[in-house]
Amino acid sequence: MTDVAAASTAYQNALKVIESVEPRIAGAIRSELTDQRESLKLIASENYASPAVLLTMGNWLSDKYAEGTIGHRFYAGCQNVDTVESVAAEHARELFGAEYAYAQPHSGIDANLVAFWSILAHRIEGPELDRAGVKNMNDLDEDAWETLRKKFGEQRMLGMSLDAGGHLTHGFRPNISGKMFHQRSYGTDPQSQLLDYDAVAAAAREFKPLILIAGYSAYPRRVDFARMREIADEVGATLMVDMAHFAGLVAGKVFTGNEDPVPHAHVVTTTTHKSLRGPRGGLVLASEEYAPSVDRGCPMVLGGPLSNMMAAKAVALAEARTEEFRTYAQAVADNAKTLADGFLKRGTKLVTGGTDNHIVLLDVSAYGLTGRQAESALLEAGIVTNRNSVPSDPNGAWYTSGVRLGTPALTSRGFGADEFDRVAELVVDVLSNTTPGLTAKGVPGKAKHVLADGVSDRVHAASAEMLEANPLYPGLEL
């Protein structure tokens, strides 16, 4: 349990020190806490880290360079960093049942880049080096390097499309993943909006990717990772799973068996915030055969690891190994179901017709709104969400036709079934009373909105009652 008095004293003293140097920064920090305390945070990728995790980020570990790996650094004096990274990796292995864990990635995108290059190195570099009769990349002559570069550049990736719920790093063309690989996407069934595993298998047989990516950032259903592994094995692909969004549900044993990616994937990546409730950062989990390649994340892709962030990851992962966290993770999933049911009974259209993870994805086109208009209207009423594409979205990835909601953050505050049903009511109240704003030409546009008089005040007042009953960091005073 957090010692609230000790945490309050720590933050008060820290802010005094910051204020003595740059008071505007101290003010922004205080304002951020106030804003988070006073709004309904429904962004699926955000959460609230514990005071212990937050305090772990601000220390002198940040002053240490530590390129390399545990016990094999390019700088002297890294014994304490070795301890920190070892503890973080140990907790990650034990928490997820992984053979190997790499705690250095600074973010989810970094974790994915490490995974991509590790798979390339394992699947291509190793055999090519063997054929060239050398043991080290540095021993290759220029002709051999040119051959290897061509092989790297001609590999294929098959991932979930952005509008179906995939992530930018799963082969989206403007992203580096879409430039590194010959890319193709799989979507969802046009009617059910659910994953069609037979269609994924057919695409894999035809395209023959080196990497098959599973996982999502806006798909409100669970995935059968055993089936995805069967597809990967059939075509000789490496199965990589990006579980950044649902890692907390894996850690909390809400997702088990075929829904737990770790026993089935060759490589798994994740962030450590979102549903895992830790600091902003990434992890790579892998089977032993991929461990040597992943361990070369620095200097292959990464620079010096952020040792203070690895320490905070270790603290968060330790918290996630408790029974309390398992209870929390189950509540996240239960609350998402309640939230979805609250929308359905009020006539709101949901992508896939519901949820069985932590995400609820609204299709707001029936309200005559774009996702951008809905997002802005909800923010005006104190409800923080993010617009998101829906399958075959006619408004594209900028304006969108959807709004993505998630339950991790408000569940951390103690919201339960009654509160989440009320949240659905408030969201519907806002959307039902919002109309598109007019462009300079006097016609309805895709960006601006008009929220009816009195709605914002009404929703703010109703939200305030729930937020006051479920305070954020109760007892912590700045």
Question: From the candidates 56, 269, 270, 271, which is the catalytic residue?
Answer: 271
Task: For residue 79, tell me if it sits in a domain.
Answer: yes
Same domain, 285 and 341: no
280 as an active site residue: the answer is yes
Same domain, 288 and 380: no
CA distances from 332 to 42, 108, 377, 413 (A): 12, 21, 25, 11
Give the predicted TM-score (pTM) of the model: 0.93
End position of a domain, from candidates 320, 345, 379: 320
- Please tell me the total count of domains within the chain: 2
Residue 168 is predicted with a pLDDT of 80
Residue 350 is predicted with a pLDDT of 98
Distance CA 204, CA 181 (A): 15
Q: How many CB atoms sit inside 10 A of residue 185's CB?
A: 20
For residue 137, pLDDT over 60 is answered with: no
CATH, residue 157: 3.40.640.10
Residue 88 is predicted with a pLDDT of 98
Same domain, 126 and 87: yes
Q: What is the pLDDT of residues 102-122, one digit of tens each?
A: 999 999 999 999 999 899 888
Distance CA 187, CA 165 (A): 8
Instruction: Kindly write down the DSSP assignment for every residue of 142-191, as one continuous string.
Output: HHHHHHHHHHHHT-EEEEE-TTTT--GGGT-TTSHHHHHSEEEEE---TT
Enclosing H/E stretch for 359: strand 359-363
337 as an active site residue: the answer is no
Give Cα 425 to chain centroid, integer Å.
27
272 as an active site residue: the answer is no
pLDDT-derived band at 129 (thresholds 50, 70, 90) equals low
Same domain, 245 and 376: no
Give Cα 51 to chain centroid, integer Å.
21
Same domain, 269 and 369: no
> In terms of residue numbers, what domain contains 301?
61-320
Residue 441 is predicted with a pLDDT of 80
Q: What is the pLDDT of residues 368-380, one digit of tens each?
A: 999 999 999 999 9
Question: From the candidates 156, 227, 280, 458, which is the catalytic residue?
Answer: 280
Distance CA 20, CA 97 (A): 46
Mean pLDDT of 430-455: 91
Q: What are the contacts of 331-335 at 24+ separation with CB within 8 A?
A: 331/411, 331/416, 332/248, 332/249, 332/252, 332/254, 332/275, 332/358, 332/407, 332/408, 332/411, 333/249, 333/254, 333/357, 333/358, 333/407, 334/417, 335/407, 335/410, 335/411, 335/415, 335/416, 335/417, 335/420
Q: What is the pLDDT of residues 254-290, one digit of tens each?
A: 999 999 999 999 999 999 999 999 999 999 999 999 9
Same domain, 187 and 269: yes
Residue 180 is predicted with a pLDDT of 80
For residue 153, pLDDT over 80 is answered with: no
Residue 444 is predicted with a pLDDT of 83
Question: From the candidates 2, 19, 46, 65, which is the catalytic residue?
Answer: 65
End position of a domain, from candidates 294, 320, 346: 320
Same domain, 76 and 182: yes
Burial of 191 (0-12, 13-18, 19+ CB in 10 A): exposed
For residue 128, pLDDT over 80 is answered with: no
DSSP state of 124: I
271 as an active site residue: the answer is yes
Same domain, 419 and 358: yes
The structure tokens listed for 463 are 């939200």
End position of a domain, from candidates 295, 320, 345: 320
Residue 186 is predicted with a pLDDT of 95
Residue 212 is predicted with a pLDDT of 97
Give Cα 157 to chain centroid, integer Å.
20
Task: For residue 29, tell me if it sits in a domain.
Answer: no
Q: What is the pLDDT of residues 178-235, one digit of tens each?
A: 778 888 999 999 999 999 999 999 999 999 999 999 999 999 999 999 999 999 999 9
Question: From the candidates 38, 67, 90, 356, which is the catalytic residue?
Answer: 67
- What are the residues whose beta carbons fall under 8 Å from the beta carbon of 404, sequence distance 6 or more? 43, 44, 218, 359, 360, 361, 362, 385, 386, 387, 388
- What are the residues whose beta carbons fall under 8 Å from the beta carbon of 131, sequence distance 6 or more? none
For residue 421, pLDDT over 60 is answered with: yes
Question: From the candidates 85, 242, 259, 295, which is the catalytic residue?
Answer: 242
Average pLDDT, the chain: 92
Q: How many CB atoms sit inside 10 A of residue 234's CB?
A: 11
Q: If you compute the radius of gyration of the chain from its CA atoms, what whole number of angstroms results?
A: 23
Same domain, 295 and 428: no
DSSP state of 414: T
For residue 353, pLDDT over 70 is answered with: yes
The structure tokens listed for 218 are 């806006």
Question: From the candidates 73, 221, 274, 413, which is the catalytic residue?
Answer: 274
